[in-house]
Amino acid sequence: MPNEKPYDSKCAYNDQLDRAKVIVKEYKTEKNGNQYIVRIFGMYAVKDVGIITPTFGHKHEWEHALLYIKNKKVEYVGASQHTEVKQYPSQEVPHLLNQPNTFPLKYVMHKGTHDFSKYDGKKQDGQFVPKATNPTPNGKWFGEDNSVYIEYKEQPEQATLPSQYIAILKKWHNGGINLKVGNVDYINKWLPDSWKKDQVTFK
């Protein structure tokens, strides 16, 4: 989006998800004989603009999803909402049919700007699955194709990223929130309370 364009221009592209990528990194540690894993996913959008106050917003939006895994079982699903992470017990988050460890999140406007949240669920074939049947403009679940995922590297120049992604990885956007995938302090800040109680930390 050219800098001279207003925030409320070119907000929705029907084919935007066809060109989107997700930056992913996994953190592992052990504590008291238990294995803890946090898998964090960073998703980029060209901008974030409000509905009620369309003059408020910024270009270059990163939001994040997190899986909190203990001893190979997903305990919590995290959804970033701008400056905080909402954590849901995994049993409260619907999963894709016959894919018990695949938890979709909504990326929608919440009476203002965009962020992540969990789907409403329903029972189907004894499973807790999303009510949504047509979740994206192209009718597919974004992220089911592994080609959208790019592993985060400590040195972005060494990662197999297009040049526009490298530029964004290095730059804070106008809202002051950048990509958190490689930020271990962010991971430790937003651990579930039960993990903090067990003094779990990542390095």
Assigned token pair, 148: 């959208």
Element (H or E) spanning 196, and its range? Answer: helix 193-197
Residues 8-34: pLDDT tens digits?
A: 455 555 566 676 778 899 999 999 999
pLDDT band at 136 (very low <50, low <70, confident <90, very high): confident
Pairing of strands 149-151, 22-31: parallel
Q: In this predicted structure, what is the pLDDT of residue 167?
A: 60
pLDDT band at 71 (very low <50, low <70, confident <90, very high): very high
Least confident of 43-52, 96-105, 124-133, 178-187: 43-52
Q: In this predicted structure, what is the pLDDT of residue 143?
A: 85
First to last CA, the chain: 36
Residues 39-48: pLDDT tens digits?
A: 999 887 666 6
**Count of CB atoms within 10 A of residue 17's CB?**
18
Assigned token pair, 73: 């079982």
Q: What is the pTM of this model?
A: 0.79
